[in-house]
Amino acid sequence: MSELHHECGLAAVYHLPGRPASPLCPPQGPSEVARLVPRMLLDIQNRGQLSAGMTAWNPDRTQLLATHKDVGSVSEVFGMSHRNAFERLMEQHTGPAAIGHVRYATCGADDRGYAQPLERPHIQKRKWFSFGFNGQLANYPELRAEILADGENHLARDNDTEVILHAIGRELSGDAAPSPRELLAAISRRFDGAWNIALIDACGRLVVARDPLGIRPMEYAVEGGLVAAASESVALLNLGFATESIRSLEPGTALVVDADGHRIERFAESPRRAHCFFEWIYFANVASTMDERSVYLVRKHLGEELARLETVPIDTDTVVVPVPDTSKAAADAMAYALSIPSVEGLIRNRYTGRTFIDGAASRRQKAESKYTPLREVLEGKRVILVEDSIVRSTTMKVLLGRMRSLGLAREIHVRIACPPIVAPCFYGIDMSTIGELFAPPFLEEGRLTEAAQAEMARRLGADSLRYLPVEAVARAIGMPGGSLCEACITGRYPTPAGERLYGVALADAGRGVASRAYESLTR
């Protein structure tokens, strides 16, 4: 689904003072573990391709916290294609501890000012900090209005990250010196939504926190003196941490690392969970494991769910074709269950650029070059095309047309390893209005019927279309539905502010207003 994008990804590393060098440290030694951050960010680049950055702490440097960030991919921002440029940059940002961030904007502009981490200098070291944020605050409009109610206050950026910056700054103001647990407990009481934070201060204290609902994933690992955390386990696995040493940070808890060592501290109760199901279905790297659930195995289970529902006649000319790349595990599992081939009938061009930042006409043109149908594989075949989701349908329409005109497929039956997307996300995924979604106009009183799916197929140019039912998601992930955030497929949100925004979105859709719910509330 090239039409759908996540907001952010986080990474953090810390080598504890006085501990023996971990074999996972860079060759330069424990004092330069900050060098590991760009490498970790490459592994979570799937979570954000708009900007990247890092902040390194070094007690032996006048600039205790040094931040580098810019718009572009990780390789572009850190000059990783040019050894000399990369080395110069790392020499300026060396240190035994660092945090990193990749971003795709769900709100705010596409310029360097919105890149993270955000650093807040201060003369007092405990008040000088830098942080990165993954998620989205559903009560951002209320928090923003609260800040601006005082005519003396001003916000320079149009996003929730700056609101978090000021919330943390407020807790650190005055003579009070809150502990990490006290600080996080205070802001947790004010925040509604998804918010994972990686923060480092000029005292050399690292804090990695996961919100009480656990909407976004966060993993961590410890080996010897090296402590690391990342939005996905693959970044830790590729550093060399053993699989069994990688753990999920529990919702409502924080990993705190300082000169005294590392510890897990609970800052908020977590009576319910709302893990984003889309992390397993689409966003996360297929090699990752989150909350003890393998992304690959979840997608495999989704394919098996599709196979159980299949009614298309199977003959020697029937093949399963995945839409590269996130649909491959589901497609392979479906084909295996049906005893038919899973073939690479579409080849993805990985260098077409980011289609989501362009206008509709340009987006369509880039979609046309994103996948190349293989006539040798598709000609005369009955194709079961497996995709992980349909959000806006732009790419799918173009793809089906090219599979018929260039690939000469005889039939194309679209199978979606996900229920229909019927509601916006207010927790960090780029689908903000009901009007942009493909499925809602076809539903009958909110129900997905066979007639609705037939009309959807006709509109897309497919011979048939089938979605998975909502209950299949929880079965595939292996979690009860009550532990998942399924708001975008049910319209039921896990937080009060999410429910309020959905009400605004429904009202806007009824009036034909195309703006996002946030914008309607902040005008």
Q: Are 238 and 230 in contact (CB under 8 A)?
A: no
Q: Which residues pair with 248 in a beta bridge?
A: 219
Q: Are 168 and 129 in contact (CB under 8 A)?
A: yes
Using the CB atoms, write b or e for 244-264: b if 16+ within 10 Å: eebbbbbbbbbbbbbeeebee
- 177 CB-near residues (< 8 Å, 6+ apart): 126
Q: Are 104 and 49 in contact (CB under 8 A)?
A: yes
Give the DSSP per-residue string, 353-391.
--GGGS-HHHHHHHHHHHEEE-HHHHBT-EEEEEES--S
Using the CB atoms, write b or e for 85-104: b if 16+ within 10 Å: ebeebbeebbbbbbbbbbbb
Using CA atoms, how far apart are residues 297 and 53, in angstroms rounded to an integer? 32
Strands 118-120 and 129-137: antiparallel
**Cα three-residue angle 425-325-469, rounded to 5 degrees:** 50
- 143 CB-near residues (< 8 Å, 6+ apart): 137, 160, 163, 167, 190, 191
Using CA atoms, how far apart are residues 429 and 432, in angstroms rounded to an integer? 8
Active site residue 8: yes
Between the CA of residue 281 and those of 167, 168, 347, 389, what are the distances in Å?
33, 33, 21, 9
Q: Which amino acid appears at position 353 of this protein?
A: G
Q: Are 66 and 117 in contact (CB under 8 A)?
A: no
Smallest CA-to-CA distance from 210 within 264, 246, 158, 167 is with 264
Using CA atoms, how far apart are residues 434 and 514, in angstroms rounded to an integer? 8
The helix (H) or strand (E) run that includes residue 318 is strand 318-322
Candidates 8, 25, 107, 488; catalytic one: 8
Q: Report, as residue numbers or ranges, the catalytic residues.
A: 8
